[in-house]
């Protein structure tokens, strides 16, 4: 931690701590039936918060899949709106994707990766210096879109960062049955890109690797593949039962390498914060997580008419007719 | 640029030029690239080669390789890239080289292009026009002739346009690209080289309207793409026997002009829908249902369908037997008249 500014490391800690608490609240909301399902971020806070914190939300753009809550939080996304996705109030959430510069949740996990390339190419065509960052997992790295995207980005030298959170479990399939060759970062070489393998539970290392990749993209030197090696300590989703497919001793070992605890220890060791400061951060994180929880639990359901509102920019007569029919049936 | 200058001169009638459909699309792309600097043309071979059908011929030379560029060969990434470009304020006009190669991109088209405006509640519109050389009739190898219109018309969030001649190709493309909604613009390959008069003017018919290509009294032939031309031939032959057929070019398959269909069929009281795609769950079923819903009392006979068969587009020598022949359409006309 010594080599990073104290205020940065404190901010990383606050975001990671808030994400951890919000994750716990979200699991509770699922148990209470508020969320139909939830995908935990626990154990991946450093990979997400430290990478997102290396971006500039005023000019960059993030393309997530569906397990990027901690990244959204660190990037400054309005979290009640974001978490509305997990309550299934709207597919992409109720926050403004374009104003936040943080794409909508996407369950087709390779799907958003070429969007990042397109966005990045567009940025270069205009002569601006924004960078696109695509989050995806080890499972997504098996999908064709990810390979096509790396190849496109290499050919176009697009300012994009491919950020793979390798949490070692793609649904119920372990890394050695998911990633041939064992490493996503190693694939970068085949596309002519630098590939970086980083300890995904080390916030400082993740931040540095991402900041370097972002700087490289921003100065026109093209894309980078970062593989952050981490671990999904919780089930794939609240509907999953990992006791059927993995050794809990392994999970327990990774729980010991908790990224929040690691950062806490490092901050104290580096003298970036005292116990009292961190206790204050912890209290603020709990409050913030509770505020978001209450907000998303209380958020109103969308009006039925919104079924029809956003299908097209220029709606069709047929859709208007169907809307009228729907309205008549609702009013019966 | 010539068109733009002439268009500004209100005292001059818009010039009419004789063009092939492929040239008409090229003209429209030139207008679109010139009028909006955010418009981008990209895909496989669209740059130096000018497209496998030469539709983008000369565009890269005129507008530069930043506006008109070749991509690696990967259809899903081409469409995915279009999504990202649209999110960054561009107006992408990607080309997929042949209809069969749209299948690898269907995830991007259906899950991403079609839904992004909905998903983001209007924050991220997708003003993308996918140019897709489509349908059969050129006896091409496998995957080079398909009829995907029902797939795309069935997908909420997409609009689907199919020009039937050079003039239509010009105006429908202007409308498609200027629209802020994603449009799948299906170019009938079999008609690329057919020439016709093209008025270089602004389109006046709104998106989603059909057109009557030939007026008649005894039955309406409903078609799109290359089948419109075939139906016109059928109508000519039928006229020799005193049968007066109306030919309706649907041209927008989403949204479908239900009112236009109803107006024509209510007049003629008989309808035959002709398409290249397989019969089962094809768009002909949708057209027949719309006609039945809207014209039931006026109908003198059930709606007839003349379509491809429920088989993959066959190899070259068999393709003429797969596509609706003039005789098959004439038989259907006879069936509806004798009902």
How large is the ipTM? Answer: 0.97
Chain A contact for B215, CB < 8 A? no
**Among the ranges given (A55-69, A176-190, A203-217), the one the predictor scored with the smallest mean pLDDT:** A176-190
Distances (CA, A) of A247 to A235, A243, A253, B315: 12, 7, 10, 54
Confidence of residue B1 (pLDDT cuts 50, 70, 90): very low
Give the pLDDT confidence score for residue A1 in this predicted structure.
74
pTM of the model: 0.96
Average the pLDDT over B171-195 and give the result: 98
For residue B255, cis peptide bond before it (omega within 30 degrees of 0): yes
Please give the mean pLDDT across all residues of chain B.
95
CATH 3.40.50.970-classified regions of chain B: 16-199
- Residue B171 three-state SS: helix
Establish, for the pair of chains A and B, how many residue pairs have beta carbons separated by less than 8 Å. Answer: 150
Q: What are the residue numbers of the active site of B?
A: 144
What average pLDDT does this structure show over B207-236? 98
Does residue B27 have a pLDDT over 60? yes
The rounded distance, in Å, linking the Cα atoms of A78 and A277 is 25
Does the pLDDT of residue A191 top 60, yes or no?
Answer: yes
Question: Rounded to whole angstroms, how far apart are CA atoms A39 and A43?
Answer: 12
Check: CB of residue B26 under 8 Å from CB of residue B170.
no
Residue B13, pLDDT above cutoff 80: no
Q: Are A206 and A198 in contact (CB under 8 A)?
A: yes
Looking at domain B16-199, does it have CATH number 3.40.50.970? yes
State which fold the A6-301 domain adopts. Rossmann fold (3.40.50)
Q: What residue ranges do the domains of chain A occupy?
A: 6-301, 303-331
- Cα-based distances in Å from B319 to A207, B130, B147: 59, 26, 13
Q: Where in chain B is the domain with CATH 3.40.50.920?
A: 211-338
| Chain B residue nearest residue A128, CA to CA | B88
Within an 8 Å CB–CB cutoff, is residue B72 touching chain A? yes
Strands B16-20 and B195-199: antiparallel
Which of B273, B272, B321, B286 shows the shortest CA–CA distance to B136?
B321
In this prediction, residues A161-188 reach a mean pLDDT of 94
Residue position matching structure tokens 């690691």: A262
List pLDDT tens digits, range A203-233: 999 999 999 999 999 999 999 999 999 999 9
What does the DSSP 8-state code read for residue B205? S
Q: Please give the pLDDT value at position B10.
A: 53
Segment B253-281, tens digit of pLDDT: 999 999 999 999 999 999 999 999 999 99
CATH number of B211-338: 3.40.50.920
Give the one of B88, B121, B125 whose C-beta lies nearest to A119's C-beta.
B88
Q: Does B40 touch chain A (CB under 8 A)?
A: yes
Across chain A, what does the average pLDDT equal?
96
Give the SS3 label for residue A295.
helix
C-alpha to C-alpha distance for A182 and A177, rounded to whole angstroms: 9
Q: How confident is the model at residue A3 (pLDDT cuts 50, 70, 90)?
A: confident
Mean pLDDT, rounded, for A295-310: 94
Q: What is the rounded average pLDDT of the residues A20-31?
A: 97
Please give the pLDDT value at position B11.
Answer: 57
Query: Which residues in chain A are closer than 8 Å to B115, comparing Cβ atoms?
Result: 91
Percentage above 70 pLDDT, chain B:
96
């Amino acid at each position: 931690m010594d080599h990073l500014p104290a205020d940065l490391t404190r901010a990383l800690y606050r975001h990671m701590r808030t994400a951890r608490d919000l994750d716990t609240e979200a699991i509770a909301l699922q148990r209470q039936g508020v969320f139909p399902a939830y995908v935990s971020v626990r154990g991946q806070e450093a990979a997400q918060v430290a990478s997102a914190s290396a971006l500039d939300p005023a000019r960059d753009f993030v393309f997530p899949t569906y397990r990027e809550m901690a990244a959204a939080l660190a990037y400054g996304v309005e979290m009640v709106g974001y978490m509305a996705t997990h309550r299934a109030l709207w597919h992409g959430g109720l926050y403004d994707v374009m104003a936040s510069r943080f794409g909508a949740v996407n369950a087709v996990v390779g799907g958003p990766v070429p969007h990042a390339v397109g966005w990045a190419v567009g940025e270069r065509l205009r002569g601006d210096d924004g960078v696109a960052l695509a989050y995806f997992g080890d499972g997504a790295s098996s999908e064709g879109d990810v390979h096509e995207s790396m190849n496109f980005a290499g050919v176009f030298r697009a300012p994009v960062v491919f950020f793979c959170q390798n949490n070692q479990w793609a649904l119920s399939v372990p890394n050695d049955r998911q990633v041939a060759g064992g490493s996503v970062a190693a694939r970068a070489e085949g596309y002519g890109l630098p590939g970086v393998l980083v300890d995904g539970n080390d916030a400082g290392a993740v931040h540095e690797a991402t900041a370097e990749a972002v700087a490289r993209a921003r100065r026109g030197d093209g894309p980078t593949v970062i593989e952050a090696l981490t671990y999904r300590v919780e089930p794939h989703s609240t509907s999953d039962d990992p006791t059927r497919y993995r050794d809990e001793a392994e999970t327990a070992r990774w729980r010991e390498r908790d990224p929040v605890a690691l950062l806490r220890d490092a901050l104290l060791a580096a003298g970036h914060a005292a116990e009292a400061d961190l206790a204050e951060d912890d209290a603020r994180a709990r409050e913030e997580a509770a505020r978001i929880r209450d907000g998303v639990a209380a958020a109103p359901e969308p009006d039925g008419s919104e079924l029809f509102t956003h299908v097209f920019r220029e709606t069709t007569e047929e859709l208007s007719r169907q809307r009228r029919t729907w309205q008549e049936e609702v009013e019966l | 640029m010539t068109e733009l200058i002439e268009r500004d001169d209100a005292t001059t009638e818009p010039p009419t030029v004789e063009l092939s459909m492929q040239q008409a699309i090229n003209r429209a792309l030139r207008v679109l690239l010139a009028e909006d600097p955010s418009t981008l043309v990209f895909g496989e071979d669209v740059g130096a080669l000018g497209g496998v059908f030469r539709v983008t011929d000369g565009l890269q030379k005129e507008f530069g390789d930043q506006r008109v560029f070749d991509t690696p060969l990967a259809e899903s990434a081409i469409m995915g890239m279009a999504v990202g470009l649209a999110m960054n304020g561009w107006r992408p006009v990607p080309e997929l080289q042949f209809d069969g190669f749209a299948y690898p991109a269907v995830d991007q088209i259906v899950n991403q292009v079609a839904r992004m405006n909905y998903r983001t509640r209007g924050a991220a519109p997708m003003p993308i026009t996918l140019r897709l050389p489509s349908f059969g009739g050129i006896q091409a190898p496998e995957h080079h002739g398909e009829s995907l219109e029902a797939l795309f018309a069935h997908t909420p969030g997409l609009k689907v346009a199919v020009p039937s001649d050079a003039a239509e190709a010009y105006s429908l493309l202007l409308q498609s690209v200027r629209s802020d909604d994603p449009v799948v613009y299906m170019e009938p390959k079999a008609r690329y080289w057919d020439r016709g008069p093209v008025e270089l003017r602004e389109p006046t018919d709104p998106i989603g309207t059909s057109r009557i290509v030939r007026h008649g009294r005894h039955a309406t032939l409903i078609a799109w793409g290359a089948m419109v031309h075939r139906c016109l031939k059928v109508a000519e032959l039928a006229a020799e026997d005193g049968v007066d057929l109306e030919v309706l070019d649907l041209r927008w398959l989403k949204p479908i002009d239900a009112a236009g269909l109803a107006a024509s069929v209510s007049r003629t009281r008989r309808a035959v829908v002709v398409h290249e795609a397989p019969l089962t769950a094809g768009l002909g079923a949708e057209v027949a249902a719309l006609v039945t819903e809207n014209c039931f009392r006026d109908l003198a006979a059930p709606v007839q369908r003349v379509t491809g068969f429920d088989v993959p587009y066959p190899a070259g020598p068999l393709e003429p037997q797969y596509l609706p022949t003039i005789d098959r359409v004439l038989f259907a006309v006879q069936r509806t008249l004798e009902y």
